[in-house]
Structure 1
């Protein structure tokens, strides 16, 4: 089984891209990744493309061939849809294709255009990732669903809004130097606590923003990298995917995310590492409580201990395990179909040493990404390592 290297990464700035189309956004990220990799477009054998709500936001299905054309590729493409984990799944399948020997060079990533819709329209569009029959018809939205998870967590383990506010403060601080982040500004705990309520106990600054953006990675086999003198110092050594029941009421415990735990177990075993080996992580913090659930599912904390990690300084840039040095979904932004690829691109930059926050993890050798769909009915985890 061949190894997989990240040869290049590309991102658009995350935020509002008024007047631009989705294919324009993805082309920008894809061409940046190809330039970063210094790999000819003609060598790309397949496009693995993640997108969730394009048929609703742009009235455009069948996007993969359009995106391949926009990127100047002469190959087939496949669209992957797994809600907010769409790009994570696209990358996972690219890794599996290279490992199997099916391909040597793939482009993987994703795109979402969201700000052309109103906030109610975005809320309604995102809700289709929930159980339409038993959740959406009852009026459940994702802010409400994650609020239920937060309330259950607080009841079961303890924790406070101040703990969640510390996560928001941390991630905003991390986003300040990131040129791709939607919100490059710091906030205070008081700002988070005083922001308007969305769904108790979550307030506005507990939530990620509505975002446009795209991400792309050029993945190559180790043999291709060696034969073509491709500088690719970061390897994808582990990949895992987990699933759970879509509706919250069908879960055994709303305060845990077994899909992410299963994905992490598989990814760690695949890479031959465990949670103690991880130096830095990018996790899916669509809401502040989601970061807590991710930290515990990934095995960094026991249930109930993760909620105070940011407040205690353990997951800040100077902590033992820096989390979301990109700014996370919370401050960097969350163009849902692009997010999983963005996490991998940011982590690659951190491990290569060319991210504005790389100095915080100068000695890091092992990193993890955690990408979730819905209320973590889907989860994808990847392990990245600095190659020897």
Structure 2
């Protein structure tokens, strides 16, 4: 079995691109990744591509071969769909196939075009990641679902909306120097608390934005990297995936995310690490409460302890565990199908030292990415390490 290296990465700016198509966005991200990797497109064995709502937003299914063409490759291509964890699942499959020798070079990535649907249309499209029979038909939206999870958390463990406001403020601050971020502006705790309520106790600044964008990474086997003298200092050493019941009323817990716990346990065992060995994290903060739940599922905090982490300064760029130095989904943006790979892209840049926030973690050797679908019914977790 061979190891897996990240040879090159690429992103588009995350934000509103009403004039651009998904294939145009992915063409840009993949071109950047190939330029970064220095790998010939003819060497690519497969494309694994994440996308969630292409049929709704662009009336386009069968996107795998379409995106291979956009990327300038002729390799077989497969689309992966796991709601907001779509390209996280694509990364996991790429890692597994590279390790077992089925592939030597895989282009992995994702894209989503959302803003052309408008707020109401995007909300409706995203809702199909919930249980249609038991949630969507009853009027459930994801802001409402995460509000229920936040209320359950507060009732069981304590905490407040002000604790969540500190998460939003932190992630906006982290996004300031990130040229790919949708929101490069500061907010205050007071602004977050005074913002319009979306679903009590969550307000506007507790939610990530509607985002267009694409991400891509060229993954190679260690054997290929050695043979072709590819400069790829960051390796994927752990991968894990977990699942849970789709609808909230079928869950044993609302204030915990067992799918993420299982994914983390598997990824840590795969990499031979535990949470104390990790220097930083990129987690799926589609809502501020989601970051809290992720940090506990990843075993950085015991249940009930992560809600105050941002307020205490522990997860800021100057804290002991910097979280979402990219700005996270909250400020960097969340083009659904692109998010999982984009976390891997940002972590790679942070560990290589060429991210604008790398100066916050100059000695970092290991990081973890956490990508969740729906109300964390699907989760992938990846451990990345600098190979010395």
The two structures have a TM-score, normalised by structure 1, of 1.00
Shift of 1:149: 0.1
Q: Are 1:321 and 2:285 counterparts? A: no
Aligned length: 388
Secondary structure at the aligned position of 1:354 is classed as coil
Please list the CA deviations of residues 333-374 of structure 1 after superposition, one character each: whole Å capped at 9, or x if unmatched.
000000000000000000000000000010000100000000
Distance 1:38 1:177 in 2: 26
- The alpha carbon displacement at 1:228 in A equals 0.5
- Residues 201-220 of structure 1 mapped to structure 2, 5 A cutoff: 201-220=201-220
Q: Which residue of 2 aligns with 1:281?
A: 281
SS at match of 1:129: coil
Pairing 1:77–2:96 present = no
Aligned to 2:138: 138
Distance between the aligned counterparts of 2:348 and 2:152, measured in 1? 35
Specify the alignment match of 1:153 in structure 2.
Answer: 153
Instruction: For residues 251-283 of structure 1, give each alpha carbon's deviation from its aligned partner in whole angstroms, at most 9, with x where no partner exists.
Output: 001000000000000000000000000100000
- 1:225 paired residue number: 225
Q: Secondary structure at the match of 2:68?
A: helix
C-alpha displacement of 1:171: 0.1
Mapped to 1, the partners of 2:21 and 2:374 lie a distance apart of 25
Residue-by-residue CA offset, 1:7-34 (whole Å, 9 max, x unaligned): 0000000000121110000000011001
2:53 aligned residue: 53
CA distance in 1, matches of 2:120, 2:212: 16
* Structure 1 equivalent of residue 36 of structure 2: 36
1:194 paired with 2:211, answer no
1:252 aligns with 2:248: no
- Quick check: 1:263 aligned with 2:269? no
What secondary structure, in the 3-state scheme, does the structure 1 residue paired with 2:370 have? strand
- Is residue 126 of structure 2 the alignment partner of residue 126 of structure 1? yes
Deviation, structure 1 residue 74: 1.1
Distance in 1 separating the partners of 2:46 and 2:27: 15
Displacement of 1:321 in angstroms is 0.3
Q: 1:374 corresponds to which residue?
A: 374
Distance 2:278 2:186 in 1: 27
What is the DSSP-based 3-state SS (H/G/I as helix, E as strand, rest coil) of the residue aligned with 1:117? Answer: helix
Partner of 1:259, secondary structure, is helix
1:150-171 per-residue CA deviation (whole Å, 9 max, x = no partner) reads 0000000000011000000000
Report the alpha carbon displacement of residue 301 of structure 1 after superposing the two structures with TM.
0.2
Cα distance in 2, alignment partners of residues 93 and 378 from structure 1: 14
Q: CA deviation at 1:118?
A: 1.3
Q: Which runs of 5+ in 2 are unaligned?
A: none
1:44, 1:10 → 2: CA distance? 16
Deviation at 1:210, TM superposition (A): 0.1
* Partner residue in 2 for 1:25: 25
Q: Give the corresponding residue for 1:294.
A: 294
Partner of residue 346, structure 2: 346
In structure 2, how many angstroms separate the alpha carbons of the residues matched to 1:185 and 1:278?
Answer: 28
Q: Partner of 2:15 in structure 1? A: 15
Any unmatched runs of 5+ in structure 1? none
Distance 1:251 1:151 in 2: 15
Output the TM-score relative to the length of structure 2.
1.00
User: Secondary structure of the residue that 1:179 maps to in structure 2?
Assistant: coil
**Distance (Å, rounded) in 2 between the aligned partners of 1:308 and 1:278:** 20
How far is 1:227 from its partner? 0.7
Distance in 2 of aligned mates of 1:10 and 1:383: 19
Query: Residue by residue, what CA displacement relative to the aligned partner does 1:228-265 show, whole Å, maximum 9, x if unpaired?
Result: 11000000000000000000000001000000000000
**Runs in 1 of length 4+ with deviation above 2 angstroms?**
none
- 1:66-105 Cα deviation digits (max 9, x unpaired): 0000110011100000000000000000000000100100
Partner Cα distance (1:20, 1:344) in 2 = 24
How many Å separate the matches in 2 of 1:51 and 1:353? 29
**Cα distance between partner residues in 2 of 1:177 and 1:19:** 25
